[in-house]
């Protein structure tokens, strides 16, 4: 089994729920897990990972992984919102996976709302993490296509095309298919 995994998907693709379910299942089989997340993510509390469907578990919130040391009894390390870490933090996860025999399972977004890869997500691909796409459907009414992109909106419903990409919450975001992204982001008809 690969020891470094990246579970990625758009907002609403149940990434945190999958993390929590997988951690629970490992623990039920007497396999010790640990959950970490970036301190930046305070949406549901500083030391919790919570899914929108109500599942929750304790987590260690970290600003960086520079001083982080995995518990020696941990078999599987779960990392939520991995896109908010840095490439150097990903290198630390690689070190844990490769030198300590731990399974490291990362969950997060691949790209921002301007179609740019998050640096940490890019680093996971560069170091050869096993990729797992978590699927979700486009959030535009009536569309049944796979959601692959995010659109970010201002308070007036206009698409935001620039600015800070590290923004918490999903109130101003929609997960959409590629056609709807291009239609709305570039103000042109579906292609």
pLDDT band at 170 (very low <50, low <70, confident <90, very high): low
pTM, two decimal places = 0.90
Q: Point out which residues pair with 106 in neighbouring strands.
A: 6, 79
Mean pLDDT of 131-154: 94
CB-count exposure of residue 105 (10 Å: 0-12, 13-18, 19+)? buried
Residue 72 makes CB contacts below 8 A (sequence gap 6+) with: none
Is the pLDDT reported for residue 191 higher than 50?
no
Question: Where would I find the beta strands (DSSP E) of the chain?
Answer: 4-8, 33-38, 48-50, 56-58, 60-62, 76-79, 103-108, 130-133, 149-152, 173-176
Across residues 15-23, what is the average pLDDT? Answer: 94
Token pair of 187 as six digits: 């103000």
Interacting residues of 53 by C-beta distance below 8 A, sequence separation 6+ = 14, 17
Can you tell me the mean pLDDT for 123-143? Answer: 96
- Distance (Å, rounded) from C-alpha 36 to C-alpha 20? 12
pLDDT of residue 164: 65
Tell me which of 125 and 56 has the higher pLDDT: 125
Residue by residue, DSSP assigns 114-146 as TS-B-HHHHHHHHTTPEEEEPP-B--STT--SB
Domains of the chain: 4-133 (3.40.50.300)
State percent of the chain over pLDDT 70.
Answer: 90
DSSP 8-state code for residue 84:
G
Q: Average pLDDT, stretch 152-161?
A: 86
Could you tell me which residues are beta bridge partners of residue 111?
117
> What residues act catalytically?
81
Q: What percent of the chain has pLDDT over 90?
A: 67
Side-chain half-sphere exposure of 77, counting CA atoms within 13 A: 28
Q: What is the pLDDT of residues 30-60, one digit of tens each?
A: 999 999 998 887 566 677 777 878 787 788 8
Residues 97-119, mean pLDDT to the nearest whole number: 94
Between 166 and 110, residue with greater pLDDT: 110
């Amino acid at each position: 089994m690969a020891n470094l995994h990246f579970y990625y998907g758009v907002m609403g693709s149940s990434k945190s729920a999958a993390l929590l379910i997988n951690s629970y299942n490992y623990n039920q089989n007497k396999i010790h897990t640990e959950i970490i997340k970036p301190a930046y993510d305070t949406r549901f509390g500083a030391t919790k990972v919570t899914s929108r469907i109500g599942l929750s578990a304790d987590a260690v919130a970290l600003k960086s992984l520079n001083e982080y040391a995995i518990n020696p009894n941990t078999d599987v390390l779960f990392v939520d919102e991995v896109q908010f870490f840095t490439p150097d933090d990903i290198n630390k996860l690689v070190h844990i996976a490769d030198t300590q025999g731990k399974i490291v399972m990362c969950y997060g977004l691949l790209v921002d709302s301007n179609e740019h890869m998050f640096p940490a997500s890019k680093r996971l691909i560069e170091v050869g993490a096993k990729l797992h796409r978590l699927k979700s459907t486009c959030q535009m009414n009536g569309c049944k296509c796979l959601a692959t992109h995010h659109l970010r909106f201002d308070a007036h419903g206009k698409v935001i095309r620039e600015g800070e990409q590290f923004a918490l919450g999903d109130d101003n975001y929609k997960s959409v298919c590629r056609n709807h992204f291009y239609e709305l982001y570039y103000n042109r008809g579906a292609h």
